Structure 1
Amino acid sequence: MNQLEQLEHVLQEKGVKYEIIKHEGPIKTAQEGAAFLGIEIGQTAPALVLRAGNEYCALIVSGDRGRVNLEETAALMGYDSLKMASPKQVLQLTGQEVGSVSLMLPLPCIVDRKLFRYPFVYGGTGEPGSTLKISPQALEQLNEVVAYLD
């Protein structure tokens, strides 16, 4: 079962309403995704993998947030500091390439409260040629949410 099939299996099992939108190749930026999908940039929901020493977590952030303050995010999690995980670490932890990381993650998650302004958000499926459309509340069903970014 590939990444997309695994994701769809879990979505169906949990009764989450979703849509998989197919496209040619990866969408690399929030701006590119918003333009392609015809949505507000805030509805894009990139999933970032962060590292604190040997511990990892994920951040699902609204595309209109701009730069994330990693010091504040680290404090929220009780870490001294947080850094972006390397592309190699992301691949090892998730089995996915940076830029296609699924909105369903095997890591503790921080979710941006800004996403809850929208009925639907759009993010990765683990496969570069598709995007997942789900409600922001579904992020809580799919992940171990440990904190919220205000």
Structure 2
Amino acid sequence: MGLEEFGEVIRLNATVRTVREAAQAVGTDESRIVKTLVVYCGGGYRAYVIRGDKRLDLKKLGCRLATPEEVLSITGYPVGAVPPVLNIPVYIDRQLLEVEYVYGGGGNERSLLKFKPSSLVERGLATPVDV
């Protein structure tokens, strides 16, 4: 199952490791870039998809950020390139459902995935939450 099933994979000439770099690469506002953060909570891993200009309150969630090694081991993707479609529970910021499409990790540092947040929820791939 490839990422193309969930949106448009955009291959870039430059590496994109930050929200700012990703926004510049596709000519959009930073609020249209999302990050997929892998966390460890209560004995298991999960991911949160949030706007690039937002922060995840780990204390409120009772979680810790997964290490880069854990992220690669659990998801198969390096930090900064993690797509929003994973084999662990994925939670998506409810505010993103108001946006037609966003750009997120495309599996490597030279790719982005342009996708519809609502599509992930409709397909049962993400659960909306207030972040």
1:104 aligned onto 2:122: no
- TM-score, normalising length: structure 2: 0.87
- Listed as ranges, the matches of 1:41-120 within 5 Å are 41-65=30-54, 67-72=55-60, 74=61, 81-120=62-101
Shifted more, 56-65 versus 22-31: the winner is: 22-31
Q: CA deviation at 1:25?
A: 4.5
Which residue identity lines up with residue 18 of structure 2 in the other structure? Answer: T
**Deviations for 1:43-91, whole angstroms, at most 9, x for unmatched residues?**
11111100125311000011122x221122x1xxxxxx20100011111
Which structure has the bigger radius of gyration? 1
Measured on the aligned residues, the alpha-carbon RMSD in Å equals 1.8
- Secondary structure at 2:46 match in 1: strand
| Percent of paired sites with the same residue | 32
Unaligned runs of 5+ in 2: none
Report the count of equivalent residues.
Answer: 130
Bigger helix share:
1
> Which residue, out of 118, 125, 130, partners 1:143?
125
Q: CA deviation at 1:144?
A: 4.2
- TM-score, normalising length: structure 1: 0.77
